[in-house]
Structure 1
């Protein structure tokens, strides 16, 4: 069965919270929202609609990646870039649970994310990763990422890639 990206549902709570705990030691946060599950889902719905955004946040879609009924990862697709996103985080932030890695899921998550951004009219998609994250760099390059530069941000070295989404320039 193919990988599908979809909004989280009520029955995803346990799997997403487990994935969140698994990835925290690697410095990845799966859930960027705190509160009850109902509050989390409502915040994610508002972010997708661009309503009541927290300071410094842009409209974004938080989607889970599902394969054969199992959640294998998640992605945040940001509809536009602000200063921080341009410097560090980019349009797309994805993560795959450790037990589901090395199966092509990250490559497919990013491919579908770029397609979604193309549908929103984003012509060039910025995707970043830590300089020492060879796996993520390979995923980005497989999806057509062209390295623009490597920047030092605090104590991190960030690789910044641009992917042509194939979207025509509006206007």
Structure 2
């Protein structure tokens, strides 16, 4: 079975709490937030409610845009995640783009990132995003290859804060 036939994106469920928290903790040392703006002290039901509000654009704090957060599942295991932003603010347009995705270390190099991005593009189109911006750190060759495999065309590379890698900005039509 290939990544494209076995991986599915889906919303978080109540029973995902332990797997989600473990994934979040596992990726923090890499400087990656598995759980977008997740705080370990937040109740799971409150976090799920917040993600639901973000998906429909309700009660958004300043600077936050409507977004769909989904986990990637293969064989009943959470292997990664995606966040599809429905619109961009100035910060997202410069550094983060419409789609942010990640794969847990034990599941890398299996084609899951490419499939997560492919399915995320379908979701972006379904919420009205025509031209999709996807970014990655300049030193992340794997992510650059994933974006290019999904039709990404490099627009430019922009500097970030001191001590952090620049961002490669790709557009996918």
Q: What TM bracket, shorter-length normalisation? A: over 0.9
Structure 1-normalised TM-score? 0.93
> Could you tell me which residue of structure 2 aligns to residue 169 of structure 1?
none
> Could you tell me which residue of structure 2 aligns to residue 25 of structure 1?
29
> Could you tell me which residue of structure 1 aligns to residue 16 of structure 2?
12
Which of 29, 50, 60 in structure 2 is aligned with 1:53? 60
User: Matched residue pairs, number?
Assistant: 164
Q: CA RMSD in A?
A: 0.9
Whole-angstrom CA distance in 2 between matches of 1:161 and 1:108: 17
Which of 107, 116, 123 in structure 1 is aligned with 2:114? 107
Moved more, 3-12 or 112-121: 112-121
> Could you tell me which residue of structure 1 aligns to residue 97 of structure 2?
90
Extract unaligned runs of 5+ from structure 2. Answer: none
8 Å Cα contact 1:46-1:52 kept in structure 2: yes
| CA displacement, residues 100-147 of structure 1 (integer Å, 9 cap, x when unaligned) | 100000000000111111122211100000000011000000000000
- Which runs of structure 1 show a deviation greater than 6 angstroms over 4 or more consecutive aligned residues? none
Extract unaligned runs of 5+ from structure 1. Answer: 165-171
Q: 1:50-89, aligned counterparts within 5 Å? A: 50-89=57-96
Q: Secondary structure at the match of 1:93?
A: strand
